[in-house]
């Protein structure tokens, strides 16, 4: 089945543009969010929001086997598809695909993937035949520059071609990151008519790709640099949920490590029990437990659970709330 460019879909969007099953993948997160916002603007509260790490095949089956309160049908959005399929057995995947095959108009399911290319294994292989495939690709360099210029001029500011190219070079063709940095820039030049390179240098942070392990070390040692590193992570290479899940795993492992040591177990026996073998990893764990108490770790885990409740139950902005969590923990 031919792919649909998400930009073309967003323009003059209608629910009729969607198939009963739709699969969205690609690296451009802002465009995915804009597509979901378009659906929400039409359907309002009559939408099922599902999170991959908390959703079962049965739950999806129940949504689309029941009648909608409205004639337009049931609409569901499944975020973080990779977490959803992570622990599915072969028979679960086949059951899931059979559920998808039975979804008919006017019902619609939108599946959001974090992959930047389609895999050839299941369930991706069958999804190519079942779903409308929507590609959320980064804009071309030329289209990105035009988008940046349009955003600035749409807010009543002037910027010449050389300066907009300079600004765009710092944003690395990332719309989500560009949105954040341009909003800061516009606020800074609120009393000016034209934006200069000097304005950009004072306000805009160049986008860089961070290593998640370096971030974790900064985070656990309460280094203020962890905040900027985290922002760069979620705006370049990782979704906030991916970092949060990894962080929770490390926190739980550190808590077990701390608890076993407090019980008097030999450190090497604890390393063996937790499957920690690399000398560098052993050194890191010993360093962290010397500065983090059991109470510290429990509190960080509790706050992380509260964060996910805010995001998944009360629909707080995922990016903003995750950054707030890191700031809070670093400054605690």
pLDDT single digits (tens) 119-176: 889 999 999 999 999 999 888 888 889 999 999 999 999 999 999 999 998 887 888 8
Contact 67, 39 (CB under 8 A): no
What DSSP assignment string belongs to 202-253? HHPPPP----HHHHHHHHHTT-THHHHHHHHHHHHT--HHHHHHHHHHHHHH
Beta carbons within 8 Å of 321's beta carbon, 6+ residues apart: 307, 310, 311
Please list the pLDDT of the chain residue by residue as tens digits (332 residues).
578 999 989 988 999 999 999 999 998 888 998 999 999 998 877 889 999 988 999 999 999 987 655 557 899 999 989 989 987 999 999 999 999 999 998 999 999 998 888 888 999 999 999 999 999 988 888 888 999 999 999 999 999 999 999 999 888 788 888 888 899 899 999 999 999 999 998 888 776 555 788 888 889 888 898 998 898 888 766 788 888 888 998 898 899 988 888 888 888 888 888 877 777 778 888 888 888 888 999 999 999 999 999 988 888 989 899 999 999 999 88
Phi, psi (degrees; rounded to nearest 5) at 89: -80, 170
How far apart CA 120 and CA 132 sit, in angstroms, is 16
Phi, psi (degrees; rounded to nearest 5) at 91: -70, -30
How far apart CA 175 and CA 188 sit, in angstroms, is 20
What DSSP assignment string belongs to 34-102? HHHHHHHHHHTT--EEEEGGG--HHHHHHHHHS--SSTT--EEEEE-HHHHHHT--HHHHHHHHHHHHT
Which SS3 state, helix, strand or coil, does residue 264 take? coil
Contact 164, 149 (CB under 8 A): yes
The average confidence (pLDDT) of the chain is: 88
Which SS3 state, helix, strand or coil, does residue 111 take? strand
C-alpha pair distances (Å), 244 with each of 24, 117, 157, 176, 219: 22, 23, 38, 19, 12
- β-pair type (4-5, 21-25): unpaired
Beta carbons within 8 Å of 89's beta carbon, 6+ residues apart: none
Structural domains present in the chain: 4-135 (3.40.50.300), 141-203 (1.10.8.60), 212-330 (1.20.272.10)
| 79's tokens | 């975020």
pTM: 0.62
Rg of the chain's alpha carbons, rounded to an integer? 23
The secondary element (H helix, E strand) that includes residue 33 is helix 29-43
How far apart CA 276 and CA 288 sit, in angstroms, is 14
| 57's tokens | 């095949």
Beta carbons within 8 Å of 105's beta carbon, 6+ residues apart: 19, 20, 73
Contact 251, 296 (CB under 8 A): no
């Amino acid at each position: 089945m031919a792919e649909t460019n998400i930009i073309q879909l967003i323009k003059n969007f209608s629910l009729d543009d969607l198939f009963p099953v739709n699969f969205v993948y690609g690296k451009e997160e802002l465009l995915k969010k804009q597509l979901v916002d378009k659906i929400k603007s039409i359907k309002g509260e009559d939408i099922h929001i599902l999170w991959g790490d908390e959703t079962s095949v049965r739950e999806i089956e129940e949504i689309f086997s029941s009648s909608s309160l409205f004639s337009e049908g049931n609409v569901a959005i499944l975020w973080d598809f990779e977490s959803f399929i992570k622990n599915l057995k072969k028979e679960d995947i086949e059951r899931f695909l059979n559920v998808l095959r039975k979804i008919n108009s006017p019902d619609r399911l939108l599946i959001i993937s974090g992959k930047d290319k389609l895999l050839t294994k299941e369930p991706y292989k069958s999804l190519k035949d079942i779903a409308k495939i929507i590609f959320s690709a980064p804009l071309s360099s030329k289209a990105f520059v035009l988008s940046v210029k349009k955003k600035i001029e749409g807010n009543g500011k002037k910027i010449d071609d050389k300066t907009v190219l300079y600004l765009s070079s710092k944003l690395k063709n990332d719309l989500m990151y560009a949105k954040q940095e341009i909003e800061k820039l516009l606020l800074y030049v609120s009393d000016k008519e034209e934006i200069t390179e000097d304005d950009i240098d004072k306000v805009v942070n160049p986008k860089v790709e961070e290593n998640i392990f370096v971030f974790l070390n900064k985070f656990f040692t309460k280094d203020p640099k962890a905040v900027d590193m985290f922002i760069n992570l979620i705006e370049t290479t990782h979704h906030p949920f991916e970092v949060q899940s990894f962080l929770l795993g490390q926190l739980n492992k550190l808590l077990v490590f701390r608890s076993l040591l407090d019980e008097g177990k030999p450190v090497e026996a604890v390393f063996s029990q937790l499957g920690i073998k690399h000398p560098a990893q052993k050194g890191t764990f010993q360093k962290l437990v010397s500065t983090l108490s059991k109470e510290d770790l429990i509190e960080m885990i509790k706050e992380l659970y509260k964060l996910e409740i805010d995001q998944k139950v009360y629909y707080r902005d995922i990016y903003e709330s995750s950054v707030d969590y890191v700031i809070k923990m670093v400054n605690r």
